[in-house]
Amino acid sequence: MPLSAGERVGPYQIVSPLGSGGMGEVYKAHDTRLGRDVAIKVSTIAFNERFEREGRAVAALNHPNICQLYDIGALPSGSGYMVMEYIDGERLSGPMPVKEALRIARQIASALEAAHDSGIIHRDLKPGNVMLRADGSVKVLDFGLAKVSDVATTVTEHSPTYMATHSGVILGTAAYMAPEQARGREVDKRADIWAFGVLLHELLTGRCLFDGEDLAGTLAMVLKEQPDLSDAPAEVRPLLARCLEKDPRRRLRDIGDFEMLIGTPDAPPISAVRLRWPWIAAAVAGVVVAAAFAVLWLRPPAPQPEPIQFALEAPPGTQFTQGPNAMTPSPDGRFVVFAAGDSRDTSLLWLRPLGELAARPLPGTEGGNFTFWSPDSKSLAFTAGGKLKRIAIAGGPAVTLADSNTAPVTPIGTWNQDGVILFGSGTGLWRVSASGGDATLLIKSDGNRKEAGYGYPQFLRDGKRFFFFVQSADADVRGVYASSLESPDRKQQILRTASKAFYAPPRAGHSGYLLWLQEQTLLAQRFDADRLRLEGEPTAILENIAIGQLGPIRAAYGISDAGLLVYFGGAELEQRRIVWMSRDGRPLGNAVPPDRFGSLALSPDGERLIFERTVREAGAVTAKPDVWAWTSNGQSMMKLTFDKERDAYPIWSPDGGRLAFISDRTGGSQIYRKDAAGGGEEERLTDTPSNKITMDWSRDGRYLLYRQMGQGTGMDLWALPLEGANALKPFAIMNSQFNEGGGRFSPDGKWLAYNSNETGVTQIYVRAFTPQAGPGEKWQISQKGGLEVRWRGDGRELYWSSPEGTIWAADIQTGARGLQIGTPRALFTAPIYTATAGSFDVTPDGERFVLLLFASQAEGSIRLNVVSNWQAGLLN
């Protein structure tokens, strides 16, 4: 939380803010004990033993050109702070005369030499970290953020700009990083010498040597391009060249040696010494020519740019809440947006600049999902509350553009340079202006082709043609298509796939590529956008990409035009535990050993479990879930479904002899029924195009309850009769403009408990169930949000889960006046995996609960992976 003028941090009284960055905020303060002004940097990193140990080492540096660190401590929030010398001056900037630049450089070099002699590496030397005072003296700042080489080999806490990788960390600012630093390798004082060379060149010329269009471009320049020093004064080029050797073994070894390459303050530089004898000059010239030839002939080729991978975590106190639908990089590669909160009901969108450590929330995006960017990367479009909205990332209110529905594909859209937005729905592809107005249906989905909806549109660079995904139960129809604004009905199939696909345009010598998911492997294949034609063979670039649960494969990845690839790794998302817990919250042990589990259901007698389980066979890269059974005494596990497509959301028949589930084996999620013992044929029960989730089977065996997406009505509850003249003719129970789900029949079949977001927050309700007669009177049961709901075996008590993982209960009585509801009471809280239906169940007596939990105790451990320059490993 920012500090205000007058607040105290120990003996230091805050005067005013000085600035902020990825590491935190900096304030001017007054030391009330010693009567002096100081600067206080409040870190985003918690105060810990390492923080204190490194602080002591840096405080020991006593040099006139190093900003002194006076004190360290911890705020009540646990964040660490550093108290430093207050410097009244200006940040360095160029260009400036050679004499002045070298005078400043000598002071910086002296500071670095003192730090290096004490085993301290700065690792973020740049003009912004050097202060020039009015008397001409220099102070190097932020040694308190440096690496102490004898304390830790990998430090992530103390750098204002860093990127974590699987093998180490990249710390620093991209334009000033040494190549070995940009690769995440272990660095020494020679990384500071590289940064010194970049800084000195900038002082002399006013130009930053490595200034790409975005983070990926800058890092690629650092790794690949030889710096152009031609605009630097000739007498300083030898020094710059030695500082900027890409191979650290050939780089200037000690910063104190730089004087040998420019001469002492009282002597001319070596390059300016006049040669007195012509024969010596001729000999030297010959040597120079030979050396130049050898350098040009023998110099190894410039290193090719390499992909750089690092990870982002959810902001402190939050978790990623919307997964693949809300995560996307900006077209310029400078930002990543994602949804996070302490639960889905408190979720909002966050913006993470990749040049900074911290993400910031975007007010006005509460509940935001299905994000996409404006082409200039200045505005963001998203869906919330059934509306398509836009917001400027620099600040301002969110503006509503149009109505929007989720699924059966997705309302994720695309935005061209003329301000045209396309977004998907179950009815087809819609068009609306980025400034708002009426949305018009551009392409209508074709029911004759079993098309269930369109989604994931993407404009090509001309802003006229676009890709989009067609969902269909027919595998020959399902896939990625191309069309245009001028002739939208003339669509051309590009790829048959169950996944979205993104086009990455050519950049920096790389071809254009089409990316899509096969199982959980991300493939890239060269694509000619002019001819709309794939070329060559696909190449696997990433494995184990996480996927969503509904409809087409909602692959958890996104790309930017600038060469940035962002994804959630599937392995981090899938491990689950199924555990028993008493109604007072006492753990009763694992029901099943931890594995890749999904939706579960307890048999009517409370003795058996069925659940989704994903098993990856030896040598296989990916796998899809099947339905499995487990006896409550833990003696046996049995696989019940065997096809290669997803089988999920199993539920029991009231006698426990059969089960129903959904399967994607025909292209869409349809409901099937089979014997619970595992034998016999599987009977398909539905054939409508919308994807479904099975919810419940009525106690009298007459109805199956399921959820599906409606056209213009959001998620709806439907019933499928299993007997009589209307058998297998489904009818809607609730198809309002709001989302309904989580439905369960009461044991006597007269009532239906369910959830709805009609108030803006998902709550639990109960209605009378009157088949095909429309919904009757309803009662709100929950007060603090509700997702899944269950009845006790006698119908006298109702249980539900809230978004934060609390199990609630309320007494229920029925009579002539309808329902009488007791006061809701919290039973216990657990790390329940609330992102899926079927996350908990209860025994008929209401005494024991079976829960689907995270294998780790918090979803906050999930990381969002970022890859810059991902095309570097592909052949063109």
Q: Which residues are catalytic?
A: 124
User: Buried b / exposed e across 610-620, counting CB within 10 Å, b at 16+?
Assistant: bbbbbeeeeee
Q: Quickly list DSSP for 244-313.
A: T-SSGGGS-S-GGGGHHHH--TTS--GGGPPP--HHHHHHHHHHHHHHHHHHHHHSPPPPPP--EEEEEE
The answer to whether 855 and 590 are in contact (CB under 8 A) is no
Q: In what order do the strands lie in the sheet with 89-91?
A: 89-91, 130-133, 138-140
Those residues whose C-beta lies under 8 Å from the C-beta of residue 666, and which sit 6 or more positions away, are 473, 684
Strand 479-484 vs strand 492-495: parallel, antiparallel, or unpaired? Answer: antiparallel
Measured CA to CA, the distance from residue 382 to residue 421 in angstroms comes to 12
Query: In the Cβ-directed half-sphere of 60, how many Cα atoms lie within 13 Å?
Result: 14
In angstroms, what CA-CA distances link 734 with 52, 248, 739? 60, 68, 9
H/E run at residue 570: helix 570-574
Measured CA to CA, the distance from residue 74 to residue 180 in angstroms comes to 34
User: Buried b / exposed e across 646-678, counting CB within 10 Å, b at 16+?
Assistant: bbbbbbbbbeeebbbbbbbbebbbbbbbbebee
Q: Return the SS3 of 360.
A: strand
**End-to-end Cα spacing for the chain:** 49
> Would you state the structure tokens that stand for residue 521, as one six-digit string?
């492997």
The answer to whether 77 and 150 are in contact (CB under 8 A) is no
The answer to whether 205 and 94 are in contact (CB under 8 A) is yes
In angstroms, what CA-CA distances link 551 with 473, 636, 646? 10, 32, 11
**Phi and psi torsions of 239, nearest 5°:** -65, -45
Q: Quickly list DSSP for 553-595.
A: B-BSEEE-TTSEEEEEBHHHHH-EEEEEEETTS-EEEEEEEEE
Q: Return the SS3 of 598.
A: strand
If you ran DSSP here, which 8-state letter would residue 5 be given?
Answer: T
Measured CA to CA, the distance from residue 247 to residue 477 in angstroms comes to 54
Q: Which of 18, 80, 22 is nearest to 54 (CA)?
A: 80
> Would you state the structure tokens that stand for residue 316, as one six-digit string?
């402190």
Q: Return the SS3 of 154.
A: coil
Query: In the Cβ-directed half-sphere of 642, how many Cα atoms lie within 13 Å?
Result: 9
Task: Say how many C-beta atoms besides its own lie within 10 A of residue 698's C-beta.
Answer: 23
User: Buried b / exposed e across 273-301, counting CB within 10 Å, b at 16+?
Assistant: eeeeeeeeeeeeeeeeeeeeeeeeeeeee
Measured CA to CA, the distance from residue 235 to residue 261 in angstroms comes to 9
If you ran DSSP here, which 8-state letter would residue 463 be given?
Answer: S
> Would you state the structure tokens that stand for residue 803, as one six-digit string?
């978004």
Q: Return the SS3 of 443.
A: strand
The answer to whether 311 and 318 are in contact (CB under 8 A) is no
The answer to whether 411 and 370 are in contact (CB under 8 A) is yes
The type of residue at 471 is Q
Q: Which of 446, 439, 488, 436 is nearest to 467 (CA)?
A: 488
